[in-house]
Amino acid sequence: MKPTLYVIIPCYNEEKVLPLTAPMFLEQIQNMQREGLVSENSRIMFVNDGSKDSTWEIITKLSGENRIFTGIAQSRNRGHQNAVLAGLMEAKDMCDITISIDCDGQDDIKAMTRMVEEYLSGSEVVYGVRNSRKKDTFFKRSTAQGFYKFMSAMGAEVVYNHADYRLISARVLREFANFKEVNLFLRGMIPLVGFKSSCVYYERHERLAGKSHYPLRKMIALALDGITSLSVKPLRLISAMGFIMSLGSLAGIVWAVVAKLTGAAVDGWASTVAAICLLSSIQLICTGIIGEYIGKIYMEVKGRPRYIISDRTTDPQADKDQT
Ligand code: UDP
Ligand code: MG
């Protein structure tokens, strides 16, 4: 059976680029249908993320012209991650696989063929990974690379140079639906679901038209969101700082006492310094301990599934039917 593919494309104020890329997506899906990789029921689903220009009108027109195109609209602009999630959740019960991709033609649309081939040879999640960032400006490239390094140092593991161009099977999406958190960082959350995964490498191009909606400010916000959504390491760093400070304070206290005994200090100085050193390190350690508990509460509140079963030697339903 050929899998039914839904391509999920978030769009925010993309009236300039959509008329250029929509035919490219159509051609790609038709090629895959011709090659027998995906079924005739496959669709291209645009998610309008509260655009203020004529993006939604373009989407409606496209879907009127060809039933391969469909569209959903968010009630207001909620951001790229929420738009992708809305598309994935809408599609998961209608298809076998989804591929999420930006609508600006930056990610090589043709790489979808290799992604579907990876799926057909057993991968449930296929990450699109950028080969190089030669086409990005130096600034974009270095800030983006800094972003991945900082994320991993802070305990939020992400696939290097992978953004949100990926194939996910409907089965993985059904498990992912149990991740109830509202702060989304999809590229860090999908690996948490597990299942067999692989990577497909591709060249990243320049935007075909229009301008980026991800300036540095939004990239920093996304990185912070990613770190604080996936990891409690920053809280743990407070405890570590507390312990380092207390060692430093010990040295400070010894120094103050020596200065007092050798008469090098004015009256009251030694006791003031000693008190400051002692209290500040105790305070940091206490904040760190509270942080540990807050971190635990935070993880509990997410209510993520505690286990996900991927395979069984026997189908429990079939077993029950037999008895
Ligand atoms: N996007 C969205 N909502 C937003 C911002 C962006 O749906 O609030 C979409 C946008 O239309 C595009 C994708 O997310 O399809 C990536 O955005 P962009 O190309 O501007 O980011 P960049 O590639 O520069 O990081
Ligand atoms: Mg882009």
136 lines ligand 1 (CB under 6 A): no
In a domain, 125, yes or no: yes
- The ligand with the least distance to the CA atom of 215 is 1
In a domain, 18, yes or no: yes
Q: What residues make up the domain containing 310?
A: 5-230+304-322
Q: Which of 28-32, 162-166, 275-279 ranks highest by mean pLDDT?
A: 28-32
Q: Which atom of ligand 1 is nearest to the CA of 10?
A: 7
Q: CB neighbours of 267 closer than 8 A, spacing ≥ 6?
A: none
In a domain, 189, yes or no: yes
Q: What is the mean pLDDT of the chain?
A: 89
Mean pLDDT, range 44-54, rounded to an integer? 95
Residues 270 and 157: their CA atoms lie apart, in Å, by: 46
Q: Which atom of ligand 1 is nearest to the CA of 47?
A: 7
The string of pLDDT tens digits covering residues 80-95 is 999 999 999 999 999 9
Q: How many residues does the chain have?
A: 323
> What is the model's pLDDT at position 311?
73
What's the gap in Å between 121 CA and the centre of ligand 2?
29
Q: CB neighbours of 63 closer than 8 A, spacing ≥ 6?
A: 69, 70, 71
Lowest mean pLDDT of 36-50, 73-87, 174-188, 250-264, name the range: 250-264
In a domain, 280, yes or no: no
What's the gap in Å between 73 CA and the centre of ligand 2?
19
> What is the model's pLDDT at position 307?
80
Contact of 5 with 99, CB cutoff 8 Å = yes
The string of pLDDT tens digits covering residues 113-157 is 999 999 999 999 999 998 876 667 787 778 778 878 888 888 887
- In the chain the first and final C-alpha atoms are separated, in Å, by 31
- The ligand with the least distance to the CA atom of 15 is 1
Contact of 103 with 26, CB cutoff 8 Å = no
Mean pLDDT, range 69-81, rounded to an integer? 93
Nearest of 81, 201, 214 to residue 136 by alpha carbon: 214
Contact of 132 with 47, CB cutoff 8 Å = no
3-state SS assignment for residue 71: strand
Residues 271 and 261: their CA atoms lie apart, in Å, by: 12
Mutate to test the pocket of ligand 1, among 104, 109, 187 (most ligand atoms within 8 A of CB): 104
Find tokens 């391969």 and name the residue: 68
Residues 294 and 288: their CA atoms lie apart, in Å, by: 10
Contact of 183 with 302, CB cutoff 8 Å = no
102 lines ligand 1 (CB under 6 A): yes
In a domain, 276, yes or no: no
In a domain, 60, yes or no: yes
Q: CB neighbours of 94 closer than 8 A, spacing ≥ 6?
A: 4, 6, 43
Mean pLDDT, range 225-247, rounded to an integer? 86
Mean pLDDT, range 273-289, rounded to an integer? 87
> What is the model's pLDDT at position 236?
85
**How many domains is the chain partitioned into structurally?**
1
Q: What is the CATH number of the domain that holds 196?
A: 3.90.550.10
In a domain, 20, yes or no: yes
What's the gap in Å between 35 CA and the centre of ligand 2?
28
Q: Which atom of ligand 1 is nearest to the CA of 13?
A: 11
Residue type, 62: L
Contact of 27 with 113, CB cutoff 8 Å = no
Mutate to test the pocket of ligand 1, among 213, 217, 222 (most ligand atoms within 8 A of CB): 213
pTM over 0.95: no
- The ligand with the least distance to the CA atom of 9 is 1
